[in-house]
Amino acid sequence: MRIFAIRWEWPQWWTSEGSETEIVWTCEEEMCWRTSEKVREVLRGDNSSLANDIRKEMKALNGKLLKAKDRNAKRDIRRELKSLSREERKRQQLAVTDVIKNADVVLTTLTGVLTKKLDGLSFDVVVIDEAAQALEIACWIALLKGSRCILAGDHLQLPPTIQSVEAEKKGLGKTLFERLADLYGDEIMSMLTVQYRMHELIMNWSSGELYENKIEAHSSVASHLLYHLGDVKISPSTEKALLLIDTTGCDMEEKKDEEDSTLNEGEAEVAIAHAKRLVESGVGASDIGLITPYAAQVVFLKTLKSNVDKLKEMEISTVDGFQGREKEAIIISMVRSNSKKEVGFLSDRRRMNVAVTRARRQCCLVCDTETVSGDKFLKGLIEYFEEHGEYLSASEYVNE
């Protein structure tokens, strides 16, 4: 199968002088795809060969320019180089067009479909990945390129980010995926029920709360734990899939930073302490993710981490930043701890669904259970961890 990948930013591409050919796309990130043999045949065609010949000629002229002494001779060489550069660019673009026309599959962003190189082209089917995070208006750019469409995604995870509150209230926040799911349900939906990431105890909470108990764990992951990893020792920190570290009664209340974001310094120290225990048991720091819903807590956690060399490779991020990601161990700092039992957007089922299901072998909740249990949904999460996991008091981590 011939596959071609395209981005919205117009590319620079080159043909190597060796036996293999690559297409290189240069934009915010550099991404390279080694082309299939059939695509290589296209790139060995007239336009690509001409572009390659022109580049060789330009290289020779640049050598002459360096040696030239006469001003008129230099002027003539520069004029010729300019002309060759225009022709080489034209041949590059034509060669890329040849590749697209001969490709069976084109990979692009939703806005990338607008590139002129796809003008006039249509496809048998359009597949939109992560459709539950895509704005409907962006989906329609791609939808118009085909007669059939497959939307792949999970509308029970985080929705697209909408900067305008007014726009969200008027419906922009509802995705095409979600709208079609509401309109037609099982008539058009097909659910993938076997997951290959999580220990079944991590999975079961999400499956029961959000997916009608339809999710199953593949046998290769159903019972895997941290101590099954090479060089990881069996310890109280590594032998459980679920851990609940309760800060209730430990004088670890939340507070606001200068930008009115919430943080909890005591809880952050406990989360870092558990991460240190994992590393001391042999878990790689790069295999640990520390997640929190609040930006201020992320900043404070990173400050604490900077003082611990062994945690240098541990990743700390918001829940939103971890969507689509996974780690062997996930530590969730829930932050909220107050007498009013206010939980803010922790009550967003989709956000907590994402947070918990990033974990492969262990999910550790660090929270004030009294505060977060004020929300019915979160109370169910706490009770599940208490029943199926290990319960610890944050006081056991103080001064570590």
What one-character-per-residue DSSP string does 343-359 give? -GGGG-HHHHHHHHTTE
Q: Which two tokens stand for residue 206?
A: 């999400």
Q: Which of 70-79, 216-225, 318-327 has the highest mean predicted lDDT (pLDDT)?
A: 216-225
- pLDDT, position 268: 97
Q: What is the pLDDT of residues 104-149, one digit of tens each?
A: 888 899 998 888 878 888 889 999 999 999 999 999 999 999 989 9
Q: What is the pLDDT of residues 178-209, one digit of tens each?
A: 999 999 988 999 999 999 999 999 999 999 99
To which H or E segment does residue 128 belong? strand 126-128
Going from the C-alpha of 351 to that of each of 116, 160, 204, 291, 383, the distances in angstroms are 38, 12, 17, 11, 18
Q: Is the pLDDT assigned to residue 223 strictly greater than 90? A: yes
Pairing state between β 327-333 and 194-195: unpaired
Mean pLDDT of 82-93: 76
Cα separation, 108 vs 148, in Å, equals 17
- pLDDT, position 173: 83
**Tell me, what amino acid is at 184?**
Y
Q: Which is nearest to 365 in space by CA: 159, 235, 199, 202? A: 202
Give the side-chain half-sphere CA count within 13 A for 132: 14
- pLDDT, position 70: 83
* Alpha helices (H) along the chain: 37-43, 46-67, 71-101, 136-143, 165-167, 176-184, 200-210, 265-280, 295-305, 319-322, 349-356, 369-372, 376-388
- pLDDT, position 77: 81
Q: Which residue has the higher pLDDT, 369 or 26?
A: 369
- pLDDT, position 360: 98
Cα separation, 20 vs 37, in Å, equals 9
Q: Is the pLDDT assigned to residue 13 strictly greater than 60? A: no
- pLDDT, position 47: 63
Q: What is the pLDDT of residues 37-72, one digit of tens each?
A: 444 444 455 766 766 777 787 788 788 788 888 888
Lowest mean pLDDT among 2-6, 77-81, 223-227, 235-239: 2-6
- pLDDT, position 352: 94
Angle between helices 200-210 and 376-388 (to 10 degrees): 150
Q: Which residue has the higher pLDDT, 373 or 40?
A: 373
Cα separation, 330 vs 356, in Å, equals 8
Lowest mean pLDDT among 173-187, 287-301, 384-398: 173-187
- pLDDT, position 48: 66
What backbone phi and psi angles, to 5 degrees, belong to 288? -115, 135
Cα separation, 337 vs 13, in Å, equals 54
- pLDDT, position 23: 33
Tell me what the pLDDT averaged over the chain comes to. 85
Task: Please tell me the pTM assigned to this model.
Answer: 0.75
